[in-house]
Amino acid sequence: MLDYFLLLNEPRRPWLDTDALKAKFLALSTKSHPDHFHGVGDEEKREVNQRFADLNAAFNGLRDPKARLLHLLELESGGKPKDVQRIPPGTLDLFVEVGQLGREVDAFLTEKAKVTSPMLKVPMFERAMEWADKLKALQQKVNLQRDALIAELQQLNPAWEAAAATGAPARQQTLPLERLEQIYRILSYAGRWTDQIQERSVLLSL
């Protein structure tokens, strides 16, 4: 598999400065853009196009924290994380809260869809705004947890900086891969929760 870190001349690590990553990507992609290679043969043109596509894939894979962690875990352990459906430690309360509020909002949306009287639609709209506020508050909780995890990733960087060289037998033993996998799982859940909250927020506004 492609090593996105190597392709963008970045050391392997859980946290990256995304602004610096973007600047490096733009510099590399500008040099290798297909528009700079007019008149080359078909084989070289395919290589140039592939190189440019790989750079874009690497940038998109590293700028998003969840995608970056998945890629890093695959590189270090040789495979994708297992048991990704298991609720990660420390997320049970939020997991329950998201599920409960989601069911309550769905029940309200079902009730709202049955209302046809213009007089009844006014209080329904007011109730919809109240549910929207609750969803917004829940999204803030999800964001806080996500931000805390991103900050923790920066604290994990020294473990990679001090680790044995890539391919060394002792490398995996010195890396906090289990914690990295937990963070990856929580970020995955946070992404799903955000999608669910946003979907219901849109429905409430209709």
C-alpha closest to that of 34 among 24, 45, 26: 45
User: What is the per-residue pLDDT across 159-194, written as a single tens digit (0 to 9) for each?
Assistant: 999 999 988 989 999 999 999 999 999 999 999 999
Specify the CATH number of the domain 4-63.
Answer: 1.10.287.110
Q: Is 179 exposed, middle or buried (0-12, 13-18, 19+ CB in 10 A)?
A: middle
Q: What are the residue ranges spanned by the domains of the chain?
A: 4-63, 92-205
Burial per residue of 150-163, b for 16 or more beta-carbon CB atoms within 10 angstroms, e otherwise: eeebeebeebbeeb
- The answer to whether the beta carbons of residues 81 and 177 sit under 8 Å apart is no
User: What is the per-residue pLDDT across 44-80, written as a single tens digit (0 to 9) for each?
Assistant: 778 878 888 999 999 999 999 999 999 999 999 988 8
User: What is the per-residue pLDDT across 79-133, written as a single tens digit (0 to 9) for each?
Assistant: 888 766 677 878 999 999 999 999 999 999 999 999 999 898 899 999 999 999 9
Cβ-Cβ contacts under 8 Å for 194 (sequence gap 6 or more): 139, 142
Q: Is 140 exposed, middle or buried (0-12, 13-18, 19+ CB in 10 A)?
A: exposed
